[in-house]
Structure 1
Amino acid sequence: MENEQGRTLDAGALKALAHPLRVRIYDLLSERGPQTASTLAALIGETSGATSYHLRALAAHDLIREVPDRGTARERWWERPKGRVNLPGPADQASPSGRAAAQIVTAEFFRLRHQTLMEYINRPASEREDGWKDAGLVTTSMLDLTAEQLAEVTAELTSVIDGILKRYEGQQDTPGTRRVTLRTEIFDLPVAVGRAEGDQERS
């Protein structure tokens, strides 16, 4: 049974992923499904030799795996295993090399995430198909919570997301579907200078 808590990358896997091109490959396998070294090379503008090298490095730490019963000895297909992956941040690493690896991985993941969001926001109206045009949502809300309430909301959102993922899993071959990205962000902001915690004053 799939571990609902997901896999937390250990130091070795994190260091294997700590290369912008490998993060991009990993992201593309999540976004587009199984790919070969050649199809990935075309997507990112690299040689198939380079993508093949990075694919093997990712596979060595079980970050990706070869698709069974697909491809040939010359054309191998790769996929990202299903399930949640937790990326430890720099502050979670004990060694300088671990912190450096975590910084590379998190910075590149969030750069790609922001790039995808901006591409969506800036997509011309002519490229927004009927039915899909107003289906997405980009929203930001501000509220005041205690640490315990923040943990409760985080758990509630995680439960909702897990339920949605289970409800629609396995639909990749269903006509009319396309890959969408579901994002959730909730975290405490730094305490502003001159405002103590618990101060509810509004400007």
Structure 2
Amino acid sequence: MAEQTRSIGVEALKALAHPLRVRIFSELTTYGPATASALAARLGESSGSTSYHLRQLEKHGYVQEDQERGNARDRWWERVPGPIELSAATFALDPGAREAGDLVERELIDAENQRFADYWASRSGLPDEWLRTTQTGSATFPLTAEELEELGARVWALFDEYRGRSPEGRRRVDLQFRGFPVVDRGGS
């Protein structure tokens, strides 16, 4: 079942555009709910810092308190479910939006690359079934802009078929899909 895409405004994008906030958002997306202390330990930050940034993320609708966990001493946080988007037209209306969007994208790409590097460095400790079924690779072929848009929609629809399944008997898997036009650095 496809989750509802939430459209965010420029102010919410600017609120996310802080390296630690993007890292916190990415951690909660990838690993699930956590406390400020657990996030601090994972990210090499102080719990005061992660607490502050979690409250800012909550204020702008990126994270919420996990009501099923925690107690008076431990407050658990989770990512608000569903994809988020900022329309391209918004970038034209606010010059700061492009800069904020670029920072968020760079940080998310760095986090994706780090997760793959972490997998690669520790793969020898994984069971054979996970090594055998791990998928890596890329493909380059000619497409029109419309075909790329169609391909992206089909891939995301396929992802949605697997989203929301019970975690029982399953392991978190990071699926990364990027579709973009090849830019010739050689100038030809």
Q: Say yes or no: TM over 0.5.
A: yes
CA distance in 1, matches of 2:23, 2:45: 12
Question: Structure 2: how far apart are the matches of 1:148 and 1:2?
Answer: 22
Q: Is the 8 A contact 1:37 1:51 kept in 2?
A: yes
TM-score by length of 2: 0.87
Q: For the aligned residues, what is the CA RMSD?
A: 2.5
Any gaps of 5 or more consecutive residues in structure 2?
none
Name the structure 1 match of 2:140: 142
8 Å contact kept, 1:18–1:105: yes
8 Å Cα contact 2:10/2:94 also seen in 1: no
Using a 3 Å threshold, how does the CA distance of structure 1 residues 180 and 95 change in structure 2: closer, same or farther? same
- Rounded to whole Å, the distance in 2 between the matches of 1:60 and 1:105 is 17
Task: Describe the shift of the 1:52–1:93 C-alpha distance in structure 2 as closer, same or farther (beyond 3 A).
Answer: farther
Does structure 1 residue 187 correspond to structure 2 residue 185?
A: no
The answer as to 2:151 corresponding to 1:158 is: no
Distance 1:133 1:90, change over 3 A: farther
* In structure 2, distance between residues paired with 1:2 and 1:162: 5
Q: Is the 8 A contact 2:90 2:97 kept in 1?
A: no
2: CA distance between counterparts of 1:3 and 1:132? 27
1:7-26 mapped onto 2 (5 Å cutoff): 7-26=6-25
Q: Does the CA contact (< 8 Å) of 2:19 and 2:107 recur in 1?
A: yes
Q: Look up the match of 1:199.
A: none
Equivalent position of 1:178 in the other structure: 171
**Contact 1:88 1:102 (8 Å CA) reproduced:** no
**What whole-Å deviation, never above 9, does each CA across 1:72-128 have from its counterpart, x for those lacking one?**
333211101211122567983532322221121111111111121223234352x13
Hey, what's the Cα distance between the residues in 2 that align with 1:132 and 1:3?
Answer: 27
Specify whether residues 187 and 130 from structure 1 end up closer, same or farther in structure 2 by C-alpha distance, changes over 3 A only.
Answer: same
Q: Which runs of 5+ in 1 are unaligned?
A: 195-203
2:127 alignment counterpart: 129
**TM-score normalised over the length of structure 1:** 0.81
Q: Which has the higher contact order (CA 8 A, sep 6+)?
A: 2
Percent identical pairs in the alignment equals 38
The alpha-carbon deviation at position 3 of structure 1 amounts to 5.3
Greater CA radius of gyration, 1 or 2?
Answer: 1
Aligned length: 187
Whole-angstrom CA distance in 1 between matches of 2:73 and 2:45:
18
**3-state SS of 1:62 partner:** coil
Which segment is superposed worse, 116-125 or 31-40? 116-125
CA–CA distance in structure 2, aligned partners of residues 47 and 66 of structure 1 = 19
Which residue is equivalent to 1:110?
Answer: 109
Q: Give the conservation status (yes or no) of the 8 Å contact 1:89–1:102.
A: no
CA distance in 1, matches of 2:117, 2:78: 26
Q: 2:27 corresponds to which letter in structure 1?
A: L
Report the counterpart of residue 38 of structure 1 in structure 2. Answer: 37
